[in-house]
A and B are shown apart, each in its own frame.
Chain A
Amino acid sequence: GEDVEQSLFLSVREGDSSVINCTYTDSSSTYLYWYKQEPGAGLQLLTYIFSNMDMKQDQRLTVLLNKKDKHLSLRIADTQTGDSAIYFCLTSGTYKYIFGTGTRLKVLA
């Protein structure tokens, strides 16, 4: 079946940039989303990109999409301690929603 892979952990220093990567297999994916989940909380939509775009910037967040390689990334500029959370990518294809495995981001003060 279709799959979405992410690295399990990422640790960065406060003020640095964070880059979270996601690779997917579903070529029918039309929308690709990034969500943030803090301990004990639900999923917060951060941003999304449509499959005919290759980049989208939204304040501190930059999403890059390489459709040929089926690779999606989320860059967080000037990472803060409040950004510590688990980040999930979600692909939305033809009648399918597939979440990535999640990347736990730890920001060191």
Chain B
Amino acid sequence: KAGVTQTPRYLIKTRGQQVTLSCSPISGHRSVSWYQQTPGQGLQFLFEYFSETQRNKGNFPGRFSGRQFSNSRSEMNVSTLELGDSALYLCASSFREGNEQFFGPGTRLTVL
């Protein structure tokens, strides 16, 4: 069974731009969560989607948004990028909410 895939793997943007990251979960998994990893703040939960509905949300500003499609694939969007948004963005999928999460390799975003 293929694992969680994330595209792109690396991204460089400038301040003020917006970015969209994509995540394809493991086949049969309906829950997708997003996390931000930085050296200073560690791993922080962004949001979780299940059956196309956002079920949980972490403490991030409204510039961070996401969605989930009927095939369980998910995208997250960050608008008006700031330097502090430079991070590794990790996506995880699980069969349903609260179950064990399997992580993708991440998208490394650099904001210049």
Contacts and interface: CB of A to CB of B under 8 A. Distances in A.
Interface residues of B, number: 22
Given A42-B103, A42-B104, A31 B98 contact: yes
A30 interface: yes
Given A96-B45, A97-B45, A101-B42, A42 B101 contact: no
Interface in B26-79: 33, 35, 42-45, 48, 55-56, 58-59
Secondary structure type dominating chain A contacts: strand
B95 interface: no
A98 B35 CA distance: 10
B39 to A, nearest CB: 11
Nearest to A33: B100
Contacts of A92: 98
Interface string A44-55: 110010000000
Contacts of B106: 42
B87 interface: no
Interface of A: 1, 30-31, 33, 35, 41-45, 48, 88, 90, 92, 95-99, 101-102
Interface of B: 33, 35, 42-45, 48, 55-56, 58-59, 90, 92, 98-106
